Amino acid sequence: MIQAIRGTHDILPGEVERWQRLEVVAREVCRRYGYQEIRTPVIEQEELFAKGTGESTDIVQKEMYTFTDKGGEKVTLRPEVTPSIVRAFVEHTLDQKLPISKLYSMGPMFRYERPQKGRYRQFHQFDVEVFGIEAPSLDSEIIEMAAKFVAELEINDSELIINSVGCKNCRPAFSQALLAALDDKLPQLCADCRRRAETNPLRIFDCKVVADQSIIDGLPHTVDHLCPSCRDHFNEVKRGLEAYALDYQISHRLVRGIDYYMRTTFEILGKHLGAQDALLGGGRYDGLVKHLGGSDYAGIGYAAGLERLIMAMPEASGLINFPIVYVIAIGEVSSSPVQVLARDLRNAGLSAFIDYKVRSLRSQMKHADKIGATHVLIVGSNELERREVLLRNMATGDQEIITRDTIVDHLCKIESTLVNK
């Protein structure tokens, strides 16, 4: 039997309702905060991520699904969508076309990581990006929006962590301070860290190797090496979060595993998720738009992992029980009158089901119960002749005769009270 590829997963009926609710909440939060949707291809030129995500990141070094297509072009299944949105922003001169560049996107991402709980090779993100605004008050608004999104999903056991990773002015001095602090300890670190020390010392904070952690925990903090404007920016972001009465912790190791970040970084962690606990993460990336060929626009955003949000959402959320009307023909009645009746119910916005397996009334009633039908409509030859139907309420067992002409309206009235409950 052919099975799904390792690290990918099917989202089955019964589970998909939670995904639908998650997507509805995401879109609704975006509407309230003034974001417009953008959809970009899942496949891009490899160079976009090499340049955008960054050559020194684990994503580009080890995790990309890159292949040469039949035309000889090196292409990559997107490991994240931020570079794609920046590309689209530049390619379509959206700065001139949109009154305000606040964009969101949802869809699958691909990273060749070692699969484990909360970590997949194909996973889904809800991603938000804003271009052209440098003000630290946008940083606090975006963080507040992320926290609101998580709260709207009824995830109450989360934790907000923030940091500042400085800018191109203060970063070189910090990298020097890091290397100086490592000095004689560097040979004790893993091969990846030794490579990172050469390519981008800040990436040493991404290391997950257990034996390296005590050395890394003792390294200098970025926030102690910020230039005056980065320090002011960070203080302003913290003030904004305090004004929103949002609890946060400063996490000195939060440099995030991607090269484009500058100044603010943040994550929201799910407290009961285990090792892969980041529900969402993001930060500021002024300079990336220019780096990818656009004008010098500021940028900031975040992405949430939908699989992890689903895991953290309360068990019952998302299960909207839509009423179902089960329509049964009995005796000599052919299926066409019930088909027309079901069509009329559907046209009126109700969910109607017909069993085409030609089973007994008894087994159809059982089946109606199984699929959660709220009402059953029975049409026999007597009813058909008198233009009537027998309506049975599945919850109470009550039955009544209703005329064919009024049944649709009658059910619409009852069902609307059920939906609103």
Question: Contact positions toward ligand HAM, by CB under 6 A?
Answer: 80, 82, 111, 113, 118-120, 123, 125, 127, 129, 258, 278-283, 285, 301-305, 307-308
- Select 308 or 392, whichever has its Cβ closest to ligand HAM: 308
- Select 257 or 337, whichever has its Cβ closest to ligand HAM: 257
Strand 399-403 relative to strand 158-164, pairing: unpaired
Tokens of residue 300, six digits: 């900031």
- How near is the Cβ of 83 to ligand HAM at its closest, in Å? 8
- Select 307 or 388, whichever has its Cβ closest to ligand HAM: 307
- Select 51 or 308, whichever has its Cβ closest to ligand HAM: 308
- Select 118 or 294, whichever has its Cβ closest to ligand HAM: 118
Distance, in Å, from the CA atom of 368 to the CA atom of 242, rounded to the nearest integer, reads 54
- How near is the Cβ of 49 to ligand HAM at its closest, in Å? 10
Q: CA nearest 131: which of 166, 97, 104, 100?
A: 100
Q: CA nearest 175: which of 295, 294, 283, 56?
A: 56
Strand 262-270 relative to strand 278-284, pairing: antiparallel
Q: CA nearest 138: which of 16, 285, 40, 250?
A: 285
- Select 65 or 244, whichever has its Cβ closest to ligand HAM: 65
- How near is the Cβ of 99 to ligand HAM at its closest, in Å? 21
- How near is the Cβ of 341 to ligand HAM at its closest, in Å? 46
Q: CA nearest 237: which of 142, 152, 147, 324?
A: 142
297 CB burial (10 A radius; 0-12, 13-18, 19+): buried
- Select 158 or 374, whichever has its Cβ closest to ligand HAM: 158
- How near is the Cβ of 256 to ligand HAM at its closest, in Å? 6
Q: Annotate 153-178 with DSSP letters as a single string.
A: TT--SEEEEEEE---TTTHHHHHHHH
Q: Give me the residue label for tokens 């090792």.
A: 275
Residue type for position 159: E
Tokens of residue 356, six digits: 């085409």
- Select 265 or 374, whichever has its Cβ closest to ligand HAM: 265
Strand ranges inside 206-258, DSSP E: 249-250
- How near is the Cβ of 182 to ligand HAM at its closest, in Å? 25
- Closest residue to ligand HAM, Cβ-based? 305
List, in sequence order, every residue forming a beta bridge with 396; answer none if it has no partner. Answer: none
- How near is the Cβ of 225 to ligand HAM at its closest, in Å? 22
Q: CA nearest 263: which of 164, 175, 334?
A: 164
- How near is the Cβ of 48 to ligand HAM at its closest, in Å? 13
